[in-house]
Amino acid sequence: MLAFRRGATALIVVAACGAGGFAITDYVRQHRHDRDTLTGTPFPHALDIATVAPSSPALTSAPPPSATGVAAVLKNLVAVPTLGTRLRGVVLDALSGSVFYEDGADAPTTPASTAKLLTATAVLAVRKPTDRLTTTIVRGNTAGTVVLVGGGDPTLTAATGKTLPEYPGAARLADLAAQLRKRNIPVNRVVVDDSLYSGPLVSPNWAPEDVPSDYASAITALMTDGGRAAPGDIVRSETPDLAAGESLAAALDVPNAMVVRGRAPAHAAVLATVQSAPIGTLVEQMLQSSDNVIAECLARQVAIARRAPASFAGAAAAVRAVLRELGVDPGAGLVDGSGLSAHDRLSVRVLARVLRLDAQTPRLRGVLASLPVSAWSGTLATRYVTTDHNAAGAVRAKTGTLTDVSALAGVVHDVDGRLLLFAFVADQVTGDLTPYAEQALDDIVSALARCGCR
**Catalytic residue positions?**
113, 116, 290
In a 13 Å sphere around the CA of 421, the CA atoms on its Cβ side amount to: 25
Angle value at C-alpha 115, between 16 and 103, nearest 5 degrees:
100
Which residues are CB-contacts of 418 (< 8 A; sequence separation ≥ 6)?
A: 59, 62, 63, 64, 65, 93, 94, 95
339 close to 346: Cβ distance less than 8 angstroms: no
352 close to 423: Cβ distance less than 8 angstroms: yes
Rounded to whole angstroms, how far apart are CA atoms 167 and 227? 12
Rounded to whole angstroms, how far apart are CA atoms 66 and 101? 9
Rounded to whole angstroms, how far apart are CA atoms 169 and 282? 10
According to DSSP, the residues that pair with 137 across neighbouring strands are 148, 272
93, 20, 95, 15: which is closest to 55 by C-alpha?
20
Which residues are CB-contacts of 8 (< 8 A; sequence separation ≥ 6)?
A: 36, 38, 289
List strands edge to edge, sheet with 395-402: 99-103, 87-93, 419-426, 405-413, 395-402
343, 291, 332: which is closest to 323 by C-alpha?
332
The torsion angles phi and psi of 117, rounded to 5 degrees, stand at -60, -40
3-state secondary structure of 102: strand
The length of the chain in residues reads: 454
The DSSP letter of residue 1 is -
